């Protein structure tokens, strides 16, 4: 049941997308990233403070890390990915931007296939077919959906999906290294705020009004709560089920696009979305199986090494 938190996260991410799209008519992308980071940093810092007081532990100890290079990789890749995604959301139908972002499992699968090939291992034919099918689905989604002047947003959105895959692998490595989720999200949010403020100082800041501030607050709150719900889902639920439930974000975003932005859902676009989801789920399952096989081979190698015990 804990995996169902991923549906909550998907809903919140879709609401964040709505807030970003509405805010993009008032602010530049750097400003939205900055305020998303500022709100997220404030929320996560408050949660860490409350937790340290409840557990009577040191605040410095809660924030200090011995994995700074790993945090930098996760935070930098995640921040660039987030910035590019916000840019894509501003210029594309929200369901299209969301679907492109959810194609990241295909890039994770592609990375594992390349790694296996470089190691001299045979690449699973099913994985090859799944990746090709998934990328065909992305093209099928894009071709009828976007106008000729929107291709730059599609390219940027695809680049965001690639970096999302990098960020996901970095989060996984940090979790396996024993880093708590709150610390990971805190550093990520702080990097958002820093990059956004630097970018805004160059691109310029816009004046605020009540509606604009509410939209920026909505971006920060929904993004932070979504991160927390996703962290809880991965921490307590089944990894594969959690990952696949994330695709419900496409359904939520499609509904918001129709209801709020009068987006038209064409049949070929729907087919493209369905292909991306099917390919993404399949790539996730096959990637997990490949990881289990790799771990089994590593255990076998350790057991066969003289002087080593299981």
Q: Which tens digit of pLDDT belongs to each residue from 179-220?
A: 888 898 899 999 999 999 999 999 999 999 999 999 999 999
Tell me what pLDDT residue 215 has: 96
CA distance 110 to 287: 9
Tell me what pLDDT residue 310 has: 45
Most confident of 9-18, 151-160, 238-247: 9-18
* 177 three-state secondary structure: coil
Q: Contact at 8 Å (CB) between 35 and 196?
A: yes
pTM above 0.75, yes or no: yes
CA distance 184 to 181: 5
Ordered by start, the domain boundaries in the chain are 2-304
- Count of Cβ atoms closer than 10 Å to residue 250 Cβ: 22
CA distance 36 to 67: 24
- Tokens 């695709």 locate to 247
Tell me what pLDDT residue 202 has: 94
Q: Contact at 8 Å (CB) between 184 and 72?
A: no
Annotate 101-133 with b (16+ C-beta within 10 A) or e (fewer): bbbbbbbbbbebbeebeeeeeeebeebeebbeb
Q: Is the pLDDT of residue 85 over 50?
A: yes
Model confidence over 51-61: pLDDT tens digits? Answer: 999 999 999 98
CA distance 231 to 242: 10
**End-to-end distance of the chain based on CA atoms, in angstroms?**
33
- Phi and psi dihedrals of 293, rounded to 5? -65, -40
CA distance 123 to 112: 9
Of residues 107 and 81, the one with the higher pLDDT is 81
How far is C-alpha 213 from the geometric centre of its chain's CA atoms?
Answer: 24
Q: Is the pLDDT of residue 1 over 60?
A: no
Enumerate residues 6+ apart whose C-beta is below 8 A from 74.
167, 170, 171, 174, 184, 187, 188
Torsion of CA 5, 235, 239, 187, to 10 degrees: 90
């Amino acid at each position: 049941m804990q995996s169902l938190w991923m549906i909550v996260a998907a809903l919140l991410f879709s609401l964040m997308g709505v807030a970003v799209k509405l805010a993009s008519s008032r602010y530049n992308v750097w400003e939205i990233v900055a305020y998303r980071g500022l709100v997220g940093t404030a929320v996560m810092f408050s949660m860490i403070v409350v937790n340290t007081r409840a557990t009577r532990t040191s605040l410095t100890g809660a924030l200090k890390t011995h994995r700074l290079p790993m945090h930098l990789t996760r935070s930098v890749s995640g921040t660039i990915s987030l910035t590019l995604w916000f840019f894509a959301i501003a210029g594309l139908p929200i369901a299209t931007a969301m679907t492109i972002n959810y194609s990241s499992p295909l890039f994770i699968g592609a990375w594992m296939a390349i790694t296996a090939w470089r190691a001299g291992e045979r690449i699973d034919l099913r994985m090859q077919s799944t990746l090709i099918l998934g990328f065909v689905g992305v093209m099928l989604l894009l071709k009828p959906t976007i106008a000729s002047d929107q291709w730059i947003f599609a390219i940027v959105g695809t680049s965001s999906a690639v970096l999302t895959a990098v960020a996901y692998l970095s989060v996984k490595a940090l979790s396996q290294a024993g880093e708590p989720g709150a610390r990971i999200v805190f550093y990520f949010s702080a990097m958002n705020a820093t990059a956004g403020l630097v970018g805004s100082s160059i691109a310029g800041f816009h004046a605020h009004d009540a509606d604009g501030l509410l939209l920026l607050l909505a971006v920060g709150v929904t993004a932070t709560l979504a991160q927390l719900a996703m962290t809880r889902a991965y921490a307590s639920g089944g990894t594969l089920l959690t990952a696949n439930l994330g695709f419900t974000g496409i359904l939520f975003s499609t509904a918001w696009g129709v209801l709020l932005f009068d987006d038209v859902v064409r049949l070929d676009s729907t087919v493209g979305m369905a292909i991306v989801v099917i390919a993404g789920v399949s790539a996730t399952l096959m990637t997990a199986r490949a990881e289990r096989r790799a771990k089994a081979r590593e255990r076998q190698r350790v057991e066969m090494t003289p002087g080593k015990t299981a």
